[in-house]
Chain A
């Protein structure tokens, strides 16, 4: 039991922190929502009502989509783009999908390779891209969820101001939707660029995100 917890510490701790912050968001979001309702003369909501509201849904979804976009882009971009000196990057000469031998697929698969790495054909082709594909699908679904929930929340506001509701397509082209979207994207892209470039010159002893402390700045650590 103790060993299982230690072996899975990252996923367990991040999962628990995620649940705790989601609950925190529900309470803080509800308080903020109700404060605004006091000003606007609208209806106050309980925590459960708030969690079932499109205001909560759009706030959750817009953050999810940008995080999954971040990892989708990162997983795919790092196949082709490199950063000399960064532990987040491959060696410059390995840019691209690499050889079957290096990737241990098809006839180069080992006895311990996953079955789909050995299978060849479409199964290996899909499995070889599965991480990026799943991140991409989760990004697309989260962005869709943001647009659907965002439209609902936006229309509730418009109706309260006696304005006509907008269609999904109109909302997807609206300044409100793109403002929510781009403010999340810009922060993710800055953070991605930062970890790539700061890790060239800075170190975190013991972290797999960092080079060993004594490695020269121009060493690009091979991974993936």
Chain B
């Protein structure tokens, strides 16, 4: 059974929170790809 929708709770800081989650994960993964690439290119 579906519970009641609570838009106010969902909106609370939701966009920034999701943006921070994505930014941290993306920066870390891209950073790791960069570090491996630098190592592989033997710079």
> In the complex, what residues of B have CB within 8 A of residue A11's CB?
17, 20, 24
Contact of B38 with A111 in the complex, beta carbons under 8 Å = no
- Chain B positions 29 through 43: 1 when the CB is less than 8 Å from some CB of chain A, otherwise 0: 101101110111111
A142 to B32, CA, bound (A): 6
A111 to B5, CA, bound (A): 9
Given contacts A7-B12, A53-B38, contact A112 B43 (CB under 8 A): no
Residues of chain A at interface, number, CB under 8 A? 33
A93 to B7, CA, bound (A): 37
List the count of A-B residue pairs having beta carbons below 8 Å apart.
81
Majority-rule SS of B interface residues? helix
Give B13 Cβ to nearest chain A Cβ, in Å.
Answer: 4
Contact of B23 with A15 in the complex, beta carbons under 8 Å = yes
Q: Categorize the interface residue count of chain B.
A: 20 to 34
**Which single residue of chain A is at the shortest CB-CB distance from B17?**
A8
Q: Does A110 contact B (CB under 8 A)?
A: yes
Give A75 Cβ to nearest chain B Cβ, in Å.
Answer: 16
A168 to B11, CA, bound (A): 49
Which chain A residues in 42-70 approach chain B with CB under 8 Å? 52-54, 56-58, 60-61, 64
Q: Does A152 contact B (CB under 8 A)?
A: yes
Given contacts A4-B15, A7-B16, A8-B13, contact A57 B3 (CB under 8 A): no
Report, nearest first, the 10 A-B pairs whose CB atoms are least far apart: A111-B3, A149-B39, A148-B39, A7-B13, A145-B35, A11-B20, A57-B38, A4-B16, A57-B35, A152-B39
Q: B residues near A, CB below 8 A? A: 1-4, 6, 9, 12-13, 15-17, 20, 23-25, 28-29, 31-32, 34-36, 38-43
